Structures are given as structure tokens and as C-alpha cells.
Amino acid sequence: MQIAGTILSRLFKAAITLLAIAILNFFLVHAAPGDPATVLAGEAGAADEQMIADLKARFGLDQPFHIQLARYVGNIVTLDLGYSFRQGQPVLDLILDRLPATLILTLTAFWISLLAGVALGVAASARVGKFTDTLITSVALLFYATPLYWAALMAVLVFSVQLGWLPGFGYETVGSGFSGLARAWDILKHLILPALTLGLFFMAVYMRMTRASMLEVAQQDFVKTARAKGLAPATIRRRHILRNALLPVVTLAGLQAGQLVGGAVLTETVFAWPGIGRLMFESLAARDYNTILGVFLVSAAMVIVFNILTDIVYRLIDPRIGHKA
């Protein structure tokens, strides 16, 4: 009941937050210089005032700002994200077509970074001050300091161009005609480089957080009591230290899960991964307002969903939080 009440409360707050984000994004996008009518007219080679005026009327950009805003808010309530004149199809269809690729990439990168980061953090904390701890910490610092786009380019250069081990671009092999398990294996091979590249930075963050949290919890009184009772070190580390040390890691993971969507913009662009991050990049260059706003809205919704899931997991790990609430 407490979890159900928490979910309902979070969903109500999420709806208000999402509406506020949509309005703010509308203001920001329309404050940027340029508009779709000017871009399309320029590409057509006939950027005269009459053509621009006709295109603005077609896109509804000739209406007063408050009318455009009211129409936009009314549309998103009914899940109508508008029409992309650049792509020639509804924005919602565009996003739903690209969303699975982004979810596959971000969720894979998230779990790789979280599981590997926690495992390395536990290993480093168990051998604090020794060579293993120094090695893991140094590698994590290297990954943390490496720019995402540079790591992506180097991954393509080394593992795809030089070694030829993995495909460097795309979602699957074009024209392969694969189906079933063969197609899944082909997609998996294309997924490895972008997922690892996107996950390396966050893996370093989770590793450092887990290590610090494990060392802090290990000094608590209840851990000293467990040692005094003669429990095995592995049992103390697993049952008493790790479970409590995971609380700040879960909080951080929930906050940074949404950032994976932002990082996916660079990753999808470098690896030509057909997700909503790449769609947003292309739409920004084309001043495709409706698509930009639609991608922003869906990205914000994904961040909110991740935060709600984090709250639920937090209460499952530490039931005391539900009683405090």
C-alpha cells in the first residue's frame, strides 16, 4: 500500500513537472534564432518574403506566441506532438520509431556501468591501500576524465577500423536480411561499442561512490558488532556493508540514468545509432521545432520514470524509508 501510494503521489507530481518542462522548452526553443520556414525556404533557393510568409502560415508560426503556446499545451495533453514537416510524418510516430534503439542503448549502458562499477568498487574497498585498489582507482579516474566523444572516436578507430573486430556504425547490417537470432546477434555486435563507450564514464562514477560508501559503512558500530560476533568477513561485507553502502549508489544511479539520454546524443551521432538522440541532433540543425519539443518531452518523461523507479528500489532496499514517509 505504501509503495502504491508513493507511485500515485509521484505520478501526480510527475504530470505537473512534465507540463512545466514542456512550457519551458517551448519558450527556449522559440527564443533561439531562426525558424523552420526560413530554413526550408533557404534550402529551396527561394527565400523571398512571400514564400517565407506562406511557410510560416502553414506551420502556424504567424500566430501570436500565446496562441501557439496554448495550442501546443492542448495538443500534448492528448499526446499529439505535432507534425514534422522536415520528416514528413507525425512527431509521435518518428519518436516511437526511434525510441526502441535509444532504450536498448541506454539500458544496456546503464546496467553495464552499474554492475561493473559496483563490483569494482567492492573489490577496491576490500583491498584498500593495496595495488589492486590503486589500479582500479586509477583506471576509473582515466575513464572519468576521458571526453565521451573522444572515447567513441577512438573505439571506432581501434576496434572497428584497425582490428575489424566489431562494426563501428549503425544499428544492424544494412541489406543483410537477417531474422530471428541471427538479427539479434547482429544488433548485439553493433551495440557493444556504443554501449561500452557510453557506460565507461558512469562506471567510473559508480565505482568511486561504491568504494567510498563501503569504506564509510565499514566503520559503523553495527559492523563492528558483527565482527565481534565472529561472522565471516565475506558475510559481513555482503549482508551488512554492501546493502547499506548501496543506498547512495542507488540514489546517484537514479539521477544519472536520465543523463544517459543526454550522453546518448553524442554516442548515437558518432556511431550513427538511429535513436532519439540522433533525431534531436538532426532536428536542431533543421530547426524542426515540433520534433525538438517532442524529443525534449519524451526525454524528460524518461528521466521522471527513472526517478520514480529509483524511489521504489530505494524503499525495497531500505524499508525504513517507507515508514519515515
Mean per-residue pLDDT, 151-161: 85
Mean per-residue pLDDT, 184-192: 87
Mean per-residue pLDDT, 90-95: 87
Band of pLDDT at residue 325, cut at 50, 70 and 90: very low
What kind and span of H or E run contains 68?
A: helix 65-77
SS3 273: coil
Mean per-residue pLDDT, 80-85: 79
Model pLDDT, residue 3: 56
Model pLDDT, residue 228: 81
Mean per-residue pLDDT, 43-72: 69
Percent of the chain with pLDDT over 90: 0
Worst-scoring range by mean pLDDT, 123-137, 221-235, 308-322?
Answer: 308-322
DSSP characters for 24-65?
HHHHHHHHSS--HHHHHHHHHT---HHHHHHHHHHHTTTS-H
Model pLDDT, residue 40: 60
Q: Is the distance from CB of 69 to CB of 19 less than 8 angstroms? A: no
Model pLDDT, residue 14: 79
Rounded to two decimals, what is the model's pTM? 0.76
Model pLDDT, residue 320: 59
Band of pLDDT at residue 52, cut at 50, 70 and 90: low
Q: Which residues pair with 83 in a beta bridge?
A: 90
End-to-end CA gap in the chain: 12
Mean per-residue pLDDT, 83-108: 85
Mean per-residue pLDDT, 267-296: 82
DSSP characters for 118-178?
HHHHHHHHHTTTSHHHHHHHHHHHHHHHS-HHHHHHHHIIIIIIIS--S--SSSS-TT---
pLDDT higher than 50, residue 108: yes
Which residue has better confidence, 272 or 50? 272
Per-chain mean pLDDT for the chain: 79
Mean per-residue pLDDT, 3-32: 76
Which residue has better confidence, 319 or 29? 29
Model pLDDT, residue 321: 57
SS3 220: coil
Worst-scoring range by mean pLDDT, 27-31, 113-117, 136-140, 314-318?
Answer: 314-318
Task: Identify the sign of the CA torsion 172, 178, 184, 188.
Answer: negative
